[in-house]
């Protein structure tokens, strides 16, 4: 269910969270980079990453509790499609040296030219994929 106020609140929380982490610690909250750093276990760099990731999980749980209807799947998705799309996103994030949250929220906020290009590219690619999906009978 689309609710513009919920969407505005979510965007404001994304921006506030990104800004708070950047101002408070100098770290950019790109999820792929945070996970990569947590898995590499650099000395002295693990604690903030683990706490940030726990915050994501707790925030998701809180959202589930407050608005469970936002998590209802309207159509089942075949697991092979989920696997292929996850691989595409993972490889794309690796090639772009960051993910949508890192480039879209933080990189654009810092006026990074690379992030502007990356964000434009994945936005246009997503729009094309959606148009192709709906053109061939998929749900919109």
> pLDDT tens, 51-98?
999 999 999 899 889 888 777 766 677 788 888 988 888 888 888 888
Q: Is the pLDDT of residue 33 over 70?
A: yes
What CA–CA distance (Å, rounded) separates 85 from 108?
24
Buried/exposed 24-59: b ≥16 CB within 10 Å, e otherwise: eeebbbbbbbbeebbeeeeeeeeebbeebeeeeeee
Q: Is the pLDDT of residue 46 over 70?
A: yes
Tokens matching residue 88: 């595409």
Three-state secondary structure call for residue 43:
coil
pLDDT band at 105 (very low <50, low <70, confident <90, very high): confident
Q: Is the pLDDT of residue 128 over 90?
A: yes
Residue of 67, 77, 82, 74 lying closest to 7 (CA atoms): 67
CA distances from 98 to 34, 94, 106, 137 (A): 10, 6, 10, 32
What CA–CA distance (Å, rounded) separates 40 from 34?
10
CB 106 within 8 A of CB 18: yes
């Amino acid at each position: 269910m689309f609710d513009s106020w919920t969407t505005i609140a979510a965007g404001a929380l994304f921006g506030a969270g990104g800004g708070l982490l950047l101002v408070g610690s100098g770290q950019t909250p790109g999820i792929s980079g945070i996970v990569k750093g947590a898995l590499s276990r650099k000395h002295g760099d693990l604690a903030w990453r683990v706490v940030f990731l726990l915050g994501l999980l707790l925030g998701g749980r809180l959202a589930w509790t407050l608005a469970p209807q936002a998590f209802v799947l309207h159509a089942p998705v075949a697991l092979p499609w989920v696997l292929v799309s996850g691989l595409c996103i993972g490889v794309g994030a690796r090639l772009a040296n960051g993910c949508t949250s890192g480039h879209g929220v933080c990189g654009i906020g810092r006026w990074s030219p690379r992030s502007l290009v990356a964000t434009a590219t994945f936005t246009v690619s997503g729009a094309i994929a959606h148009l192709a999906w709906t053109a061939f009978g998929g749900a919109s």
